[in-house]
Chains A and B, each alone.
Chain A
Amino acid sequence: MKERTKDTMSDLQRGRETSGQRVLDGTDRDILEKAGDDAIETVWDRFTDQQPRCGFGHLGVCCNRCAMGPCRIEPFGKEPTRGVCGADADLIVARNLLNDISTGAAAHSDHGREVLEVLLSTAEGTSQGYRVIDMEKLQAVAAEYGIRSEGRRTAEVAADLARAMLEEYGTLKNRIQMAERAPQKTKEAWTKAGIVPRGVDREVVEAMHRVHMGVGADPADLILHAMRTALSDGWGGSMMATEASDILFGTPVPCTARVNLGTLKKDRVNIVLHGHNPVLSEMIVRAAEEPALLKRAREKGAKGINLVGMCCTGNELLMRHGIPIAGSILDQELAIVTGAVDVMVIGSQCIFPSITHTAACYHTKVVTTSEKSRVPGAVPLVFRPDTALDTAEAVIALAIENFPGRNPDRVRIPAKPVRMTAGFSEEAVREAFGGSYRPLIDAIVAGGVRGIVGIVGCNNPAVRQDYGHVMLAKELIRRDVLVVETGCAAVACGKAGLMVPEAADLAGEGLKALCTAARVPPVLHMGSCVDCSRVLVMAAHLADELGTGIGDLPLGGAAPEWYSQKALSIATYFVASGITTVLGIPPRVYGSRKVLDLLTSRLREVVNASLAVEPDPVKAADFLEEEIERKRRALGI
């Protein structure tokens, strides 16, 4: 990125903030200091440059939708109280929130569609390098869709299933099969509130319709549709992304791997796989084993090829192959700053638009692989199912060619990666407890384990990186609450050493006993952000075993450092499914007392769960504990 001049006012302000105030992890801190030495602009610098923030936008009372505006409402109770169209603060906030949540739902669900398209082309024999790995899951999910497996070829079943799942996106069916997995009582609550999701694309399109001027003026009604849209993500798009990925690439089982920037290797060709969709990365993992490519790497002076993941592509590869993971969203620039990345492969979602500028300060080449994610300055090697393996080989060849361009004087790789256990798919969690949730349920009923909390979501430069995730997880396990995690939250706790079985020593007595018996960490890595659907399936199984709805269970959710609309969609489908969720960053709703009240309290009457905002990890843990105890009392345990 542009070399920073040293004499501006904002630099003086920046100088007051140390890298230790920006990040928690020591390896990150080391490289962030290098970024300062190399005069590289990072996300934290841009965050500082963006201060002060516009409060109209931050409070959600800015409406930039139509050409009568832009409008904003005076938040202190003075004039103007309405936009030009007549919308008041409550309506503007609700429309903005619906817009955010549907953006997040769309991102997850469109990711799901991409995986399903690969599943279909694989079944039709037009893809290159893919095959169905998990037959058992293929048949099980096919059965849910009423697709017969006996006596049929795998390809036929897979084709039928892929088409049936792609139909979930449309409008003719008017129901989502995956949502049938929810417990009866939960579905009844949805029906009563009128929020049963009807189709993945339909809910998003309807949301876009409803944020148009003059389509309803009731904030509560817009929030209900936001919940329906989020449900079409959690129990639709995301769930299909998870299941189709498992079918194609295997359902994860526990594995040991390494995490943090120390996973980059000095003497190897380093390829960082960054983004969300695993379809091309899976082929890169395969191609990296090609003897011809390994030979070429050695000819260029490298000892081998080192693949590392980043963000949720990284989580997908970590879960299924134990591929090391270099970090989360805020580590993408830092990885490049090590000077040791030969190629960064980007897919879609959460890739900084400035990443090629950062790469231009080093020898790193950025390869963009998604049709939807063109980035100026990146090498386009666009993924197509029918040429996937060829593209994967081309990516690796490019990295090998680029390896000699590395400047050893500018390379700094932090010393030691941290060990972590990942791979806890819903099936693997059940397996770890001996094939059924009974031991877990018994521990919860007996009270040794108080409940389960899913910590999910991103990093956000507003919060010292990983602080929210790590502190909350430690606080909860200490209080005998089992923690399950996905996305950047999982990477954070991996880095902090909470995802090894030995971390059970940090847990309370009851949780420690359960974890020790099952030989699992007290904080379980359940996958990428679309894999929050695994948390839903787990919750549904627990509820079914107890004969309750999800809203009755002593569960909680948290997104301590979220930034993305996807996280907002997750939080909303957690709440809509009955799981009270705490956000560590305020969503843009504080400009409306009505919407705040709806989200933080009145929703409890509808789904027995609500949203809360609490950045303090200890207070967030207090809040979640209280919620868990409230539900335990109602269950009589």
Chain B
Amino acid sequence: MENISVRPEFCIGCRHCEFACAVEHTPDRDLFTAASAGKIVQPRMHVRTGTGTLTIPDLCRHCTPAPCMEACPTDALYRDTGSVLVDEDLCTGCAVCARACPFGNVPPFSADRRVNTKCDNCIERRRNGMVPACVEACKTGALVLGGAPGPHHAETTVPANIRAYRAVLKKIAGFRNERKDERYHV
């Protein structure tokens, strides 16, 4: 099964991926019924803030071998066609897996059963020939299925106006750490 690749230079922090992930994992997979039912649905991946306010999508890499799987004391984590999945009946919610993750990826634990509800690689969708919900939701190509082209690839050229926008944001964030002029009173 092809893995999801992240191309951070195209992420603009819209969180469409998080949103689609949460909706995908509700019982009837519908935004409006999920919202009106008032049920808390947690996305299984997140958009994180990096340098300044630049953003990066962060999701389970389904590592091989997977440290979380190795660490799980109840063997609740197992592999199915390349994806690391959870047997919810075996999971005790001890979170040893979260501590074992080399990427610091803390999975959501379901509110009602307190079991690990980590990224399932949208395995059901993929069995039906669909791409993962986050990949489908990503409009900018920051999340793609399969290997990502390297930064030298023509496709990854970021337009000048977007580079200017990011430079401005980085500058603004930088001034928070400006300490040299603390004593400015006359």
Contact = CB atoms under 8 A, between A and B. Distances in A.
B172 A76 contact: no
B55 A52 contact: yes
Interface size band for A? 35 or more
A76 B55 contact: no
A343 to B, nearest CB: 30
Contact of A471 (B12, B141, B181): B181
Interface string A366-390: 0000000000000000000000000
A24 B181 CA distance: 9
Contacts of B141: 76, 78
A591 B172 contact: no
Nearest to B164: A590
Given A418-B185, A470-B184, A500-B186, A53 B162 contact: no
B101 interface: no
Contacts of B49: 13, 51-52
A56 B14 contact: yes
Nearest to B173: A462
B139 A591 contact: no
B171 interface: yes
A393 interface: no
Nearest to A471: B181
A467 B180 CA distance: 12
Contacts of B48: 52
A584 B12 CA distance: 21
Nearest to A21: B176
Nearest to A596: B161
B168 interface: yes
A22 B176 contact: yes
Given A76-B140, A464-B178, A54 B172 contact: no
A15 to B, nearest CB: 14
B10 interface: yes
Contact of B14 (A9, A54, A76, A584): A54
Nearest to A594: B161
Interface string B106-134: 10000000000000000000000000000
A593 B160 contact: yes
B53 interface: yes
Given A53-B53, A59-B162, A593-B161, A506 B186 contact: yes
A26 B161 CA distance: 37
Nearest to B186: A497
B32 interface: no
A405 interface: no
Nearest to B9: A76
A52 B15 contact: yes
Contacts of A58: 12-13, 165
A615 B168 contact: yes
A274 B101 CA distance: 50
Contacts of A76: 10, 140-141, 158-159, 162
Given A59-B165, A596-B161, A75 B53 contact: no
Given A9-B106, A470-B184, A503-B186, A56 B175 contact: no
Contacts, number: 109
Interface residues of B, number: 37
B47 interface: yes
A75 B168 contact: no
Contacts of A54: 12-15
A592 B11 CA distance: 18
B47 A52 contact: yes
A74 B158 CA distance: 12
A75 B140 contact: yes
A603 B4 CA distance: 45
A503 B184 CA distance: 11
A24 B13 contact: no
A441 interface: no
A596 B55 CA distance: 23
Given A17-B176, A497-B185, A55 B161 contact: no
Interface string A462-504: 1110011011001000000000000000000000111010110
A616 interface: yes
B13 A590 contact: no
Nearest to A502: B186
B177 interface: yes
A160 B59 CA distance: 68
A500 B177 CA distance: 28
Nearest to B106: A9
B182 A78 contact: no
A499 to B, nearest CB: 10
B161 A592 contact: yes
A416 to B, nearest CB: 10
B169 interface: yes
A250 interface: no
A496 B186 CA distance: 7
Interface in A286-341: none
A360 interface: no
A53 to B, nearest CB: 5
A463 B12 contact: no
Interface in B139-176: 139-141, 158-162, 164-165, 168-169, 171-173, 175-176
Nearest to A89: B161
Contacts of A24: 184
Interface in A29-57: 51-57
A590 B165 CA distance: 6
Given A77-B159, A590-B161, A496 B12 contact: no
A585 B15 CA distance: 22
A586 B12 CA distance: 15
A74 B181 contact: no
Interface string A565-605: 00000000000000000001110001111001000000000
20 contacts: A17-B176, A21-B177, A51-B53, A53-B53, A55-B55, A56-B12, A56-B139, A72-B139, A75-B12, A75-B159, A77-B159, A463-B175, A464-B176, A468-B175, A497-B186, A498-B186, A586-B169, A590-B165, A615-B171, A615-B172
Pairs of residues from A and B, 3 with the lowest C-beta to C-beta distance, nearest first: A55-B12, A52-B13, A590-B165
Given A21-B176, A586-B169, A615-B172, 18 more contacts: A13-B49, A20-B182, A54-B13, A55-B11, A55-B14, A58-B165, A59-B165, A74-B139, A80-B139, A462-B173, A471-B181, A496-B184, A505-B186, A506-B186, A590-B161, A590-B168, A593-B160, A613-B168
